[in-house]
Structure 1
Amino acid sequence: MVAYKSRMVERITLPDRETRERNLEAAGYNVFNLDAADVYIDLLTDSGTGTMSDAQWAALIRGDEAYAGSRSFERLEEAVADVMGFSHVVPAHQGRGAENVLYGGLLEDGDVVLNNTHFDTTRAHVANQGAEPVDCPAAGAFDPDDGSPFDGNVSLECARAVVDDVGPDAVPVVIQTITNNSAAGQPVSVENTRRVRAFADEIDATFVIDACRFAENACFVGRREPEFADVSVAEIAREQLSYADAVVMSGKKDGLANAGGFVATDDPSLYETCKQRGILYEGFPTYGGMAGRDLAAMAVGLREAVEEAYVEDRLEQVRTLGEMLTDAGVPIYEPTGGHAVYVDAETALSHLAPSEFPGQAFVCELYREGGVRGVELGSFAFPDADRPELVRLALPRRTYHREHLEHVVDTAAAVLENGDDVRGLRIESESAIPELRHFTAELEPILA
């Protein structure tokens, strides 16, 4: 059942193929460098790109822009307490700002940080503090055909092996990312969260949940974890988050907002540390780099994110795109995650070696064939990491319709049909920060 009707529209146009060719070359074969006006269907990210509800727009118009003591911040505090269960909130302009506030206060040179899988900005923030990010994914996390219900889990066996090697004092922070974006958006079970909580207690570490997609994860838990079969998304979310010492949040995902993020905790000492860093890097604690109207919109969005009708519709659209791609013969990671479909570019372009960046080549061909923008999450985005060559097609929330999905599928099928003619790529220039190179690096085709 469709959960929404449109109240506002935006005209989009598909540039002709010759123009797309020129755009791709001018962008250095990096779709981050494309102008949005030149993109027909934009699946680069689901971060801040969704459509807000009428209730969010109403809240936005009534936002309180006071520098200190804003009513909009009070409403965000209330929403975080009600939906997520935390009493202290430090706002930030977006998720990576919140990461800077939190990890800058928790980490120092020489530390080791464990995570199911660090995403790009998380990995960069950990490394920027002089700490070492170590991934501990579930055994089947990087197997596109594994099919396990909770491939997003933290591997406790891996985590214990790391601690045995470096010692517990070297690991001050353990992170669990829900859903696991780097592992094809796969969910994390509540049972795994409980086990990670116990493990963090054993080694006296702070347990952080990266909660960007906490509502989508909770919906998967209700579908796949028997203990929660008859429990609401809202109740599951509260239960899962209750095991964390702190959460770091991009409100641009399951806050359903176009800007904003925060750190939330019940620990007064950690809150004070984050609050002071927030003043330094983000702004006064009752606005944190955000306009009051954006605080108000995110407060409403957090509550909407755990509504059954919303989150069921969200997961269903992603599943539908995955099924349509599979029916068209496009290899994908299965089961699909909550926010995106991940194409297995290594299989789709099997004639290209990993050193030729088959994922990035597939991304470029999606734009060349149909003006569709996705993002590579393989060896180009994560250098020196052993993971599959995946292309993420992230669906903005409440934005595209079935006709858009059909165009994406037709475009991907065309890339597959002409796959043998696709050339690999090599890097021409890149950032000095390897964890962030896929944002700005430029590439060029490898000539035959």
Structure 2
Amino acid sequence: MFSYTSAMASSTELLSRDEREERLESAGYNVFNLASEDVFVDLLTDSGTGTMSDTQWAAMMEADEAYAGSESFLALETAIAEVMGFDRVVPTHQGRGAENVLYGCLIEVGDVVPNNTHFDTTRAHVAENGGDPVDCPVEGAGDLDSEDPFKGNLDTECVRELADDVGPESIPAVILTITNNSVAGQPVSMANIEETRDLADELDATFVIDACRFAENALFIREREDGYAERSSAEIAREQLSHADTIVMSGKKDGLVNVGGFVGVRDPDLFERAKQRAILYEGFSTYGGMAGRDMAAMAVGLREAVSEEYLTARIGQVRALGERLRERNVPIYTPVGGHAVYIDAGRALPHVPDEEFPGQALVCELYREGGVRGVELGGFAFPNTDRPNLVRLALPRRTYHDEHLDHVAETASAVLERGEEVRGLEVVSEPENEALRHFSARLKPV
């Protein structure tokens, strides 16, 4: 059995139930407003929350903090070329910085941008630049019980119909998110990636891959798609990205670091425009909002992320949490995808109507019951969309142990046992940008 030892350790405390009740009310029934010290097991996100390896920490100690042309940037640039196949790199402070840089260069007012499914910040950046983000998930993506191995795929016929309606000239880019976070972390097949490449060529559109979980997607291709069982995940990871014109990357996921991101570009003209925009919003083109030590750690992390040992342990732990929940009859999205297990809040709390946010109600109850913090990815996080009410339990990389998984499963089971007592919620206040509502809105029980 392969296992990791943490380079760092910390203690956590489970507050009393009365204390958790008080913290939840003070947070406006929005767990984003909780202090981390009030959380016992934190599954809010896998973004930047993992544990770095001793090799990464060693690289940080030797990092070059020069403003321009640092050795740490050259190390990161080399790693991206080696692991992901992109020689032109624009560093940013994190993934949403990369989205701001790229989509600010590609999208104009009136454009329409299809995606297998937009996540929150992607949707917001498309809209912020005047575009209309359109989801085109494959048929069956909303079937939580289907065992289709690639429910994260893009429905290319949906995009063609969209192009017929608005004109191909109105579609500057086609985005493919791998794995598909908004569809329960489900993977995208190599065949669908190749099909999307052909589609982008038909439309004369830029093919963008959101690559933040590219390594996890590669493992699923290796396991589930014909012809790839004998290929390494590292080879598959590079091949899947070879079809893209450009990538946006949050290094806080499969870069295995706590901060950082980048845009990878093939076209030299787009590269120059992206660099200039990055200088305005992020920092100089050889640091982009990251310290040298962050870039040094990511250079190591990208190579670690495509190793078979790491990926097997990583996806194996997510599956282990899924199995624990299923054993306790907690309804989850299947098959379990990468980085997280998604609970079907609609089935878990069938008496709570959609307009009272059963997913957010379940999130609050998981914290109230056992100090577990997850996130709602349904009607509260994505208003005015037809998405199932899911609660994501995202596992930080190389952080938690079996005992933590047991606690999470027992907490969810205890909530369901008293499920009929759970009340729905209503929004008290929210920001103007509804695509970002779940980050800061405040709610109260109905």
Fold shared, TM-score > 0.5 on shorter chain:
yes
Shift of 1:157: 1.3
Any idea what the Cα deviations from partners look like across 1:77-101, whole Å, max 9, x if unmatched? Answer: 0000000001100000000000000
Once the two structures are superposed, what CA deviation does each residue of 1:392-413 show, in whole Å capped at 9, x if it has no partner? 0000000000000000001000
Amino acid at match of 2:410: D
For 2:8 and 2:195, how far apart are their aligned partners in 1?
45
Q: Which amino acid aligns with 2:208?
A: V
How many residues are treated as equivalent by the alignment?
A: 446
RMSD: 0.6
Preserved CA contact (<8 Å) 2:247 2:265: yes
Letter in 2 for 1:392: R
Query: Which residue number corresponds to residue 315 of structure 2?
Result: 315
Alignment of 1:44 with 2:44, yes or no, is: yes
Q: Displacement of 1:107 after TM fit?
A: 0.5
Residue aligned with 1:6, SS: coil
Task: Return the offset for 1:140.
Answer: 1.1
1:34: which partner in 2? 34
Distance 1:306 1:79 in 2: 12
Aligned amino acid, residue 189 of structure 1? S
SS in 2 for 1:18: helix
Deviation string 1:216-244 (CA, Å, 9 cap, x unpaired) is: 00000000001211100000011100000
Per the alignment, residue 216 of structure 2 pairs with 216
Please tell me the residue identity of whatever aligns with 2:209.
I
1:175 corresponds in structure 2 to: 175
Counterpart in the other structure of 1:365: 365
Q: Deviations over 1:243-278 (max 9, x none)?
A: 000000000000000000000012111111110000
The offset of 1:7, in angstroms, is 4.0
3-state SS in 1 of match to 2:426: strand
Distance 2:142 2:63 in 1: 43
Structure 1 residues 189-226: Cα deviation after superposition (integer angstroms, max 9, x where no partner): 01000000000000100000000000000000000001
Misfit runs of 4+, over 6 Å: none
Structure 2: distance between partners of 1:177 and 1:257: 20
Q: What are the superposed Cα offsets for residues 31-87 of structure 1, whole Å, 9 maximum, x if unpaired?
A: 000000000000000000000000000011111100001000000000000000011
| Letter of the 2:61 counterpart | I
Point out where structure 1 has 5 or more consecutive residues left out of the alignment. none
Partner amino acid for 2:264? Answer: A
Alignment partner of 1:205 is 2:205: yes
* Preserved contact between residue 143 and residue 388 of structure 1 (Cα < 8 Å): no
Q: What is the CA-CA distance between 1:389 and the residue it aligns to?
A: 0.3
Secondary structure, in 3 states, of the residue corresponding to 1:227?
coil
Aligned amino acid, residue 445 of structure 2:
P
CA contact (8 A) 2:6 2:53 kept: no
Aligned partner letter, 2:213: R
Report the secondary structure of 1:110's partner residue: coil
Equivalent positions of 1:28-427 (< 5 A) are 28-427=28-427
Unaligned runs of 5+ in 2: none
1-structure distance, mates of 2:214, 2:6: 26
What TM-score does the superposition give when structure 2 sets the normalisation length?
0.99
**TM-score by structure 1 length?**
0.99
Separation (CA, whole Å) in 2 of partners of 1:272 and 1:379:
39
- How much identity, in percent, do the aligned residues show? 67
Task: State the alpha-carbon separation in 1 of the partners of residues 216 and 142 from structure 2.
Answer: 20
Tell me what 1:10 maps to.
10
Rounded to whole Å, the distance in 2 between the matches of 1:401 and 1:23 is 26
Measured after TM superposition, the shift of residue 139 of structure 1 is 0.6
